């Protein structure tokens, strides 16, 4: 069993930065959210320290957790669960939370990507993507919820 | 869509970095303004 030194008080900010970074690394490399245990192992931190960090990150709206759990649901622009916005790159397919986030996956990764989805208005198939830094679509992105209210119901947003 | 792509680049580039810090409300509003998103809908206050 690996032994971990309990983090010193005041080091929470450093732990939170490392845990947040670890969450993003997992999404980027696998398109999946890490577990708390996986993060603890990868970062060589005690599990309870990682768990508390995940709670702080969620409270700060840096990530979203599946309700009633400590499972990472969203690390924007990534979703841990399938959505209407699959983002396909040369490496793999990611799930994005919305159209803005779908473009955000391409922006964050710095790669070309294609999104196959459906128009939320008429249901027609809709394809958009980024190629060589330029977006290819004449579709319109509609924002229903103003940004200052995003977190009232982040799943609905 | 092109406007949203501009927004996505300003909003998400570098988000994964260890040293990334949440932007201030003022910075977020400046991003919206840079992209041409103005008016009460886009206010964060």
- The domain locations on chain A are 12-75, 78-152
Write the residue in B8, B16, B41 that is nearest to A103 by C-beta: B8
Share of chain A above pLDDT 70, in %: 94
Comparing A12-75 with A78-152, is the CATH topology the same? no
Are A49 and A7 within 8 A, CB to CB?
A: yes
Structure token pair of residue A83: 């959505």
Q: What is the CATH number of domain A12-75?
A: 1.10.10.10
**Tell me, what's the pLDDT at A119?**
84
Which residues have CB under 8 Å from A120's CB, separation 6+? A84, A142
- B11 → chain A, closest CA residue: A104
Q: Is residue A7 pLDDT above 60, yes or no?
A: no
CATH 3.90.120.10 applies to domain A78-152: no
Q: Taking each helix axis as running N to C, give the angle between helix B2-12 and helix A99-109, from 0 to 180 degrees, rounded to the nearest 10.
A: 50
Q: Which of B4, B13, B18 comes nearest A108 by C-beta? A: B13
Summarised one tens digit per residue, pLDDT across range A99-133 is 999 999 999 999 999 999 988 788 888 899 999 99
Query: Coil, helix or strand for A115?
Result: strand
């Amino acid at each position: 069993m690996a032994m971990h030194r309990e983090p010193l008080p005041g080091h929470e900010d450093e732990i939170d930065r490392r845990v947040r970074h670890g969450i993003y690394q997992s999404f980027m490399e696998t398109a999946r959210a890490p577990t708390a245990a996986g993060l603890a192992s990868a970062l060589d931190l005690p599990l309870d320290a990682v768990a508390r960090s995940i709670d702080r990150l969620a409270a700060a709206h840096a990530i979203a957790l599946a309700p009633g759990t400590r499972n990472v649901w969203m690390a924007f622009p990534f979703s841990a669960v399938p959505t209407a916005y699959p983002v396909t790159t040369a490496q793999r397919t990611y799930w994005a939370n919305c159209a803005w986030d779908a473009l955000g996956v391409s922006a964050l990764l710095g790669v070309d990507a294609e999104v196959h989805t459906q128009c939320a208005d008429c249901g027609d198939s809709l394809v958009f993507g980024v190629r060589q830094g330029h977006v290819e679509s004449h579709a319109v992105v509609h924002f229903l919820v103003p940004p200052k209210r995003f977190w009232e119901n982040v799943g609905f947003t | 869509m092109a406007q949203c792509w501009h927004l996505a680049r300003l909003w998400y580039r570098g988000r994964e970095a260890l040293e990334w810090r949440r932007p201030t409300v003022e910075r977020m509003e400046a991003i919206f303004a840079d992209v041409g998103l103005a008016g009460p809908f886009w206010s964060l206050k």
